[in-house]
């Protein structure tokens, strides 16, 4: 939480930075609550230092910048390591930097906490790290932690005010009844001050103009206690060692498509967004489930040299920004279809997948879980070719390293391959002159289930089923139902982090096809706009409900389409290609396919 809180709601003295977090703090429910401690504390006239179970550690993720609590098991281990570190700091000269620093493995073996740097660092994904904070004082109601330095000062003042006195001695502070609103002490900070009325009545007052005006009004009206934020000492849920993650049941490697050279952290953010969607759904619809899935971002692009920046050298200076965008995004398609560099791309992704798997296996010996892959756009094509062993029309002999990587193949079995916004069928169609021949798109000995997931408006995505059986061009893809498994329209309130792409469109602009599961009843848009042409492409099948002839049915459906939720403007087709990462219907579909028992 930064110190910049210049904006204030005129109807509240809460800075907007505080307001945006209210009601969003993730909490772990346990039987031991801070209420039990408060009942004891209310009868005391002195304060003692917080115990480890009363302190809670938090991390701030890289997507929406909110403080999220560690589970009790992680928090206790971090707190103990922090106390040991503070003890060493007080006993040694820190100038020589020889103090040993313990790394604490947290979040079920996925991250390391570096207590000296106050960072939570991903073990498997270099570059992914979060800020951490020790929480001791909180805003009542929202339980947002105050910044560490502020909490440290408040805690020192609190202990000095209400420290236990020797027998026969007392202070005016400890003798003050809890119902009195007399100010025992005021501590000033740059943007607020804190008043102590009693051991259990500590109030923060903002120094913003609106807050001062409110205090002035309430004072003139004769109120004994002015407005402010009640502060709470110690977290509302006591940390417990029993509060720990379950063992990992399923690994999902998340593979990006084009454009990662320009922004190497994008796949990390997208994976975090998708993981948050899955976690929210799991807590809401399957709170008693012990299944655990972990998503690993796989960044394969930045390690590839490919042309040695020759393309950049031959790029004219005219419209440089647009050309740079194309060089770092669409150029990946040309690299992959090139007979010179396709093998390097496959080898690079395959090497990274195997590296992550072996790294995980070495830290979890004897692990018996399953592995799936969630790929996007061009990433679907590359993964498919790696799994099936397609070598491509490479004209250049592969380097010894590339050849060795490609002959080692993937060192794990794939349970599911989820393709999002995939152009795979186009690549396959252009590789053979008889794309209508019925063959297995993915042999089950290589991958048990294949899912081709796409949005109606995604201009990059193509169907897979008609490639294998031409009759499926007249059969609608399977409609992915609303998250939660509810038939018909989703009526429950969406989570706070719902994708921007699905939020910012008027209900009157929403494609009416989403209202009915019977997609064959859609009406044809007669307009001549580009968007009309896009929609007409889906509506042109006059006999979409024509049954297949005997023997034409595929053993498993492959094509799954999302409810249309974007506006009618053709510009939204671009957003459709990236909306999968924060789409709760996709997240629910993936979660229930990873763990089919959840749907029962």
Degrees, nearest 5: CA angle 488-511-524: 110
The closest of 393, 417, 408, 425 to 352, measured between CA atoms, is: 408
Give the whole-angstrom CA distance, residue 86 versus residue 116.
10
343 touches 349 (CB < 8 A): no
Give the whole-angstrom CA distance, residue 263 versus residue 302.
9
**Whose structure tokens read 């599961």?**
517
Antiparallel, parallel or unpaired: β 447-454 and 478-479: unpaired
Degrees, nearest 5: CA angle 25-128-378: 110
- State residue 95 phi and psi, 5-degree precision: -70, -25
Q: Give the long-range contacts of residues 43-47, CB within 8 A, separation 24 or more.
A: 44/199, 45/162, 45/174, 45/175, 45/199, 46/162, 46/163, 46/164, 46/165, 46/174, 46/199, 47/158, 47/159, 47/161, 47/162, 47/163, 47/199, 47/233
61 touches 130 (CB < 8 A): yes
Give the whole-angstrom CA distance, residue 21 versus residue 25.
7
Q: Tell me the sheet residues that pair with 376.
A: 420
Give the whole-angstrom CA distance, residue 188 versus residue 491.
48
Give the whole-angstrom CA distance, residue 111 versus residue 36.
32
The tokens describing 168, both together, are 């026969």
Give the whole-angstrom CA distance, residue 2 versus residue 50.
25
The tokens describing 238, both together, are 């006591």
Q: Provide the edge-to-edge strand list for the sheet that holds 250-255.
A: 293-298, 250-255, 370-376, 414-420, 447-454, 559-561, 478-479
Which positions are catalytic? 377
- State residue 133 phi and psi, 5-degree precision: -150, 145
Dihedral angle of Cα 377, 380, 382, 387, to the nearest 10 degrees: 180
Give the whole-angstrom CA distance, residue 507 versus residue 567.
9
**Whose structure tokens read 């005219």?**
318
Give the whole-angstrom CA distance, residue 581 versus residue 453.
12
Q: Give the long-range contacts of residues 503-508, CB within 8 A, separation 24 or more.
A: 505/565, 505/566, 505/567, 505/572, 506/567
Other C-beta atoms closer than 10 Å to the C-beta of 522 total 19
Beta carbons within 8 Å of 204's beta carbon, 6+ residues apart: 139, 192, 193, 194, 228, 229, 231
206 touches 217 (CB < 8 A): no
């Amino acid at each position: 939480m930064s110190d910049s809180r210049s904006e204030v709601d005129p109807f509240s003295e809460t800075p907007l930075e505080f307001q945006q977090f209210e009601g969003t703090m993730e909490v772990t429910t346990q039987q031991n609550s801070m209420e039990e401690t408060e009942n004891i504390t209310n009868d005391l006239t002195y304060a003692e230092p917080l115990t480890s179970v009363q302190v809670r550690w938090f991390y701030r993720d890289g997507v929406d910048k909110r403080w999220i609590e560690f589970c009790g098991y992680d928090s206790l281990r971090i707190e103990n390591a922090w106390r040991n570190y503070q003890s060493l700091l007080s006993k040694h000269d820190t100038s020589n930097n020889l103090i040993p620093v313990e790394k604490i493995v947290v979040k079920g073996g996925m991250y390391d906490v570096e207590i000296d740097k106050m960072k939570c660092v991903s073990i498997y994904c270099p570059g992914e790290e979060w800020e951490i904070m020790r929480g001791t004082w909180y805003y009542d109601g929202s339980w947002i932690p105050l910044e560490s330095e502020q909490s440290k000062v408040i805690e020192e003042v609190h202990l000095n005010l209400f420290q236990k006195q020797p027998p026969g001695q007392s202070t005016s502070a400890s003798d003050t009844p809890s119902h009195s609103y007399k100010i025992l002490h005021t501590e000033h900070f740059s943007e607020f001050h804190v008043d102590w009325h009693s051991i259990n009545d500590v109030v923060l007052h903002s120094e913003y103009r609106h807050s001062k005006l409110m205090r002035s009004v309430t004072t003139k009206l004769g109120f004994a206690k002015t407005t402010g934020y009640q502060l709470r000492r110690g977290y509302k849920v006591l940390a417990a060692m029993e509060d720990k993650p379950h063992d990992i049941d399923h690994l999902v490697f998340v593979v990006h498509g084009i454009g990662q050279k320009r922004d190497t952290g994008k796949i990390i953010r997208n994976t975090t967004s998708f993981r948050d969607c899955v976690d929210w759904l799991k807590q809401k619809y399957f709170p008693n489930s012990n299944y655990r899935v972990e998503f690993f971002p796989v960044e394969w692009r930045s390690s590839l040299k490919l042309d040695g920046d020759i393309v950049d050298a031959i790029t004219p200076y005219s419209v440089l920004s647009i050309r740079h965008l194309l060089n770092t995004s669409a150029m990946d398609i040309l690299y992959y279809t090139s007979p010179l560099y396709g093998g390097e791309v496959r080898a690079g992704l395959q090497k990274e997948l195997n590296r992550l798997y072996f790294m995980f296996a070495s830290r979890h010996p004897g692990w018996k879980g399953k592995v799936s892959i969630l790929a996007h756009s061009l990433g679907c094509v590359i993964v498919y070719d790696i799994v099936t062993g397609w070598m491509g029309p490479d004209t250049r002999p592969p380097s010894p390293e590339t050849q060795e990587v490609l002959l080692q193949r993937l060192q794990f079995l794939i349970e599911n391959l989820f393709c999002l916004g995939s152009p795979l069928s186009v690549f396959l169609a252009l590789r053979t002159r008889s794309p209508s021949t019925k063959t297995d798109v993915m042999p089950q000995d290589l991958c048990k289930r294949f899912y081709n997931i796409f949005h109606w408006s995604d201009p990059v995505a193509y169907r897979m089923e008609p490639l294998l059986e031409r009759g499926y061009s007249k059969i609608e893809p399977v409609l992915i139902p609303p998250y939660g498994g509810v038939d018909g329209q989703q009526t429950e309130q969406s989570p706070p982090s719902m994708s921007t792409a699905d939020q910012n469109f008027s209900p009157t602009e929403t494609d009416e096809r989403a209202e009915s599961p019977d997609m064959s009843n859609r009406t044809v848009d007669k307009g001549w706009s580009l968007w009309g042409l896009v929609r007409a492409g889906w509506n042109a099948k006059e006999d979409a409900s024509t049954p297949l002839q005997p023997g034409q049915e595929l053993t498993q459906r492959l094509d799954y389409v999302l409810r249309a939720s974007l506006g009618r403007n053709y510009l939204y087709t671009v957003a459709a290609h990236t909306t999968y990462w924060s789409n709760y219907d996709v997240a629910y579909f993936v979660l229930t396919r990873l763990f089919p028992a959840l749907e029962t």
